[in-house]
Amino acid sequence: MRKNRTKLIVLAIIAIISILLFCLYNIQGGFSYAFPKRVERVLAMIITGTAIAYATVTFQTVTHNRLLTPSMMGVDSMYEVVQTVIFFFAGSASIFVVSRYLNFGLSIAAMVLFALILYRFLFRADKHPIFLLLLAGMIIGTLLGSLVTFLQVIIDPVEYESLQSRLFASFMNVKTELLLIAIVILVASFIYGYRLLRDLDVMSLGRENAINLGVNYDKIVLKVLILSSVLIATSTALVGPITFLGLIVSNLAYQFFATYKHSVLIVGASLISIIALVGGQFLVLHVFQLSTTISVIINFIGGLYFIYLILKESRKAG
C-alpha cells in the first residue's frame, strides 16, 4: 500500500514537471499573450485526461473487461457522425456550428444517448464473450465511419475543410468558452461518482460475490455506464476523439499499481493520462515541430499496445 502511495507521488511530480515545462519552455513573444494560451491548453488536457481515465477504469470494472473502452464501442464515431450531419445538412455557418454551446450540448446528448442504447443491447443480463462485444463495437464503428465518409464525399469541399478541423483531436485550438462547462461537468461527475468507488472495489470480485456482499449491482452498473459515457462525450466534444488513450492509461495503471482499489487506480490512471497528453503535446510542439498531432501519436502507440494486450490475453487463455 505504501509503495503505491510513493508511485502516485512520483507520477504526480512528473505530471507537474511536464505541465510546467509545457507552460514555460521557450516562451516567445509577449509572455502575457502566450502564457494564458498555454494554460488554457494545459487545462483542456487535464480535463480530457482525467475524464477519459475515470470513464475507462470504471467502465472496465463494470463490464469485467480490460480490453474494451467506451471510445472503442463507437461513442467516438458518434461524435464524427453528429458533426458531419450538422455540417452536411445545416452548413458551417448555421447556428449549430457557430454557437459552440449548442454544438457541445448536441454532441454530448447524441453520444450519451447512443452509448446507452448500445449498452442496453450489449450488456443485458446475459453475459456475452469479449470477442462478440469487440466485434459488435468494430462493426458499429465501421458502419458509422462509412456513413461519415459517404456524407463527406458528397459534401461541399469548403464545408469539408472546416469539418476536418473538428474531427481531429487537437489541443491547439481548444474551445476556450467550453472549458468552464467541461470543468463543471467533470467536478459534478466526480462528486457523484465518489460514493461509488468502494462499491466498484467489491464489483471487481465479480457479479455474484458483489451481490453477496450487499452491492446493488445492476443499479451501479447503470450509473457507471451513464457516468462514463457523459465523461467520454464531454472530453470528445471538447477536443475531439482520442480513441486509444483510455485503453493505454487504464491498462498501464492496472500493471503499475496491481491493486483492486479504485481510488488508487483512478488517480493513477488520470496522472498517467495527463503525463501522456501534456508530455506528448510538448514533444509534438518542440521535437516534431508540429509535423504531426498528438492524437496520431497516441492512436499509433495505443494501437500497438492494444495488439500486445490481445496477444497476452490469448496466450493466457490458451
Q: Hey, how many other C-beta atoms are within 10 angstroms of the C-beta on 200?
A: 23
CA 309, distance to chain mean position in Å, is 19
Q: Least distance in Å: CB of 218 to other proteins?
A: 10
Sites of contact with other proteins (CB under 8 A): 64, 66, 198, 201-202, 204-209, 211-216, 258-260
Compute the least distance from the CB of residue 256 to other proteins, in Å: 13
Whichever of 129 and 214 has its CB closer to other proteins, that residue is 214
Which grid cell is 149? 465518409
Instruction: Closer to other proteins by CB, 152 or 259: give it.
Output: 259
Q: CA-CA distance, 41 to 167, in Å (whole number)?
A: 18
Closer to other proteins at the Cβ: 173 or 216?
Answer: 216
> Is residue 294 a contact partner of residue 280, using CB atoms and an 8 Å limit?
yes
Give the count of alpha carbons within 13 A of 25, CB side only.
14
Rounded least distance, CB 51 to other proteins, Å: 24
Query: Residue 53 or residue 185: which is nearer to other proteins going by CB?
Result: 53
Q: Residue 108 and residue 168: Cα distance in Å, rounded?
A: 17
Which residue number, 152 or 204, has a Cβ lying nearer to other proteins? 204
C-beta of 161 vs 218, nearer to other proteins: 218
CA distance 128 to 269: 27
- Shortest distance in whole angstroms from residue 213 CB to other proteins: 4
**Which class for 41: exposed (0-12), middle (13-18), buried (19 or more C-beta within 10 A)?**
buried
Minimum distance of other proteins from residue 82's CB (angstroms)? 34
**Nearest approach, Cβ of 187 to other proteins (angstroms)?**
23
Pair 102, 175: CB distance under 8 Å: no
Strand (E) or helix (H) holding 173? none
